[in-house]
Amino acid sequence: MLNKQKILALLTVSSLTLSGSISASTDKSDDTQDFQSWNNVTAIGKFDALGITNPKLANFRWWMEGQGRFGDDGTRFSQAIIRPGIGYQIHRTTSIWLGYAWAPTTSPFASTSFDEHRIWQQVLWTERYKIGSFNPTVALRTRFEERWAEDWKSPSSDTAYRFRQLARVLIPLPQAPAFGLVLANEIFVHLNPVDWGPRSGFDQNRAFAGVAYTVNKNARAEIGYMNQTLNRINTPNNLMDHILSANLFLNF
């Protein structure tokens, strides 16, 4: 099990990654920039919350996520993601997941509109700590994705493999424990080149800072700023997005 020193080391690495990402991005004054609005609802629960009380499903979990993303200064729909999944709780802190995602995508994320389909697998680790008067919750998520463009059923369509690593911490405020600070960083890496776009190597980085409000034991809202740096293909400039990110997390 990770101790406090290891947790702090992980957060330090995450902070350095975040700082390096932002510094590298801001050094490129010729990057294309955009303001965007992203909205997300993610629900995770046990099957008995759905009225399914089979004891064989006691350690299984379900995941349902919906996102809407608006680009070009927040004026137009740019991408949606519908992401269902099934998980298994292998330990108090750790779960494994398998799911599907559908992501219709258009400008400014793509020059030509297309539908993307994904199969995803992930390991999710979450632990709460007590450090002085603070009780931070640390989460690490490792996700792999197999991705296809809109002609994904065609034998000529290549499969793109992508690795994602997320580190995040939620720090409740001792004076107002329903409120908290959230810091997160996620890096994306393409593992292979494909004919419909992705190339091997760094894909993007997302750094988030915001505030959280725990509505009740089942719901938490988070809102904040996300900086996304995209390594674009077939264009001399990267894309840096300044995102107003609003999230609702439901746990049943």
Tens of pLDDT, residue by residue over 37-85, are: 999 999 999 999 999 999 999 999 999 999 999 999 999 999 999 999 9
Report the 10 Å Cβ neighbour count for 18: 22
DSSP, collapsed to helix, strand or coil, labels residue 57 as: helix
Q: Which of 148, 151, 129, 150 is nearest to 138 (CA)?
A: 129
DSSP, collapsed to helix, strand or coil, labels residue 236 as: coil
Cα 200 from chain centroid? 20
Q: What is the pTM of this model?
A: 0.86
Q: Exposed, middle or buried, 36 (CB in 10 Å: 0-12/13-18/19+)?
A: buried
List the Cα angle 222/16/165 in 5-degree steps: 60
Question: Which domain does 241 fall in, by range?
Answer: 4-179+186-251
DSSP, collapsed to helix, strand or coil, labels residue 204 as: strand
Question: Which tokens go with 4?
Answer: 């406090």
Whether residue 11 is predicted with pLDDT greater than 70 in this model: the reply is no
The percentage of residues in the chain with a pLDDT greater than 90, rounded to a whole number, is 75
pLDDT-derived band at 121, boundaries 50, 70, 90: very high
Cα 138 from chain centroid? 15
| Partners of 133 in beta bridges | none
**What's at 178, amino acid-wise?**
A
CA distance linking residue 166 with residue 168, whole number of Å: 7
CB of 134 closer than 8 Å to CB of 174:
yes
CA distance linking residue 175 with residue 153, whole number of Å: 54
Q: What is the pLDDT of residue 154?
A: 57
pLDDT-derived band at 110, boundaries 50, 70, 90: confident
How many domains in the chain?
1
Report the 10 Å Cβ neighbour count for 27: 8
List the Cα angle 212/68/126 in 5-degree steps: 40
pLDDT-derived band at 24, boundaries 50, 70, 90: very low
